[in-house]
Chains A and B, each alone.
Chain A
Amino acid sequence: SQQGEEDPQALSIQEGENATMNCSYKTSINNLQWYRQNSGRGLVHLILIRSNEREKHSGRLRVTLDTSKKSSSLLITASRAADTASYFCATDAVQAGTALIFGKGTTLSVSS
């Protein structure tokens, strides 16, 4: 099962530009997490934002959460070629012990 949509599905930018990815979900959540995945590799956890938080920063990453709209955004500032990867949001539902459910993901390509 998947929570919802991410947009855009694919994003191509130049190094130094900012990249914004959006995620929508359907159920009530405890938190929302963003992951990165390089082609053919495992997941890398980027950031977690709790349902009572609206914005969170980590280095060049900025995540927002709007629980009224059931949406989140991930902003990567001053992108680098090494940021090229797929990015997924994953929601942690209110019900205890349930699995993280992933969005469809955004494929980011940063060219130098």
Chain B
Amino acid sequence: GAVVSQHPSRVICKSGTSVKIECRSLDFQATTMFWYRQFPKQSLMLMATSNEGSKATYEQGVEKDKFLINHASLTLSTLTVTSAHPEDSSFYICSARDGVGQFFGPGTRLTVL
């Protein structure tokens, strides 16, 4: 139980394009979902917290207009990186929380050329 999936696992895009990453809780309903970003050789940094049907809460320094989060249902959250630039290249990890704990997706490797 408590499986979180992400799609795609890896994406390469050109600078200036937008990329959407999906995060799904497969066997539970998530009260809250989180998005993290991890640069090479660094730790996971929390980007934003989202609750179904409400606006996401972004951490300080994270541009909400650049990283659009939609939490359409209790099992699906999407992160759209708009007008991606090479400095947005990173490993993006989503996480979903239920009443028991917080569970992580396998991550999405984004490379912006």
Contact = CB atoms under 8 A, between A and B. Distances in A.
Interface of A: 1-2, 40-43, 45, 48, 88, 92, 97-105, 107
Given A1-B60, A42-B106, A99-B49, A104 B32 contact: no
Question: Chain A binding site: helix, strand, loop or mixed by DSSP?
Answer: loop
A100 B102 contact: yes
Given A42-B105, A43-B104, A1 B31 contact: no
Contacts of A107: 41
Interface string B76-113: 00000000000000010101010001101111010000
B: interface residue count bin: 20 to 34
Nearest to B108: A42
Contact of A97 (B32, B42, B45): B32
Contacts of A45: 104
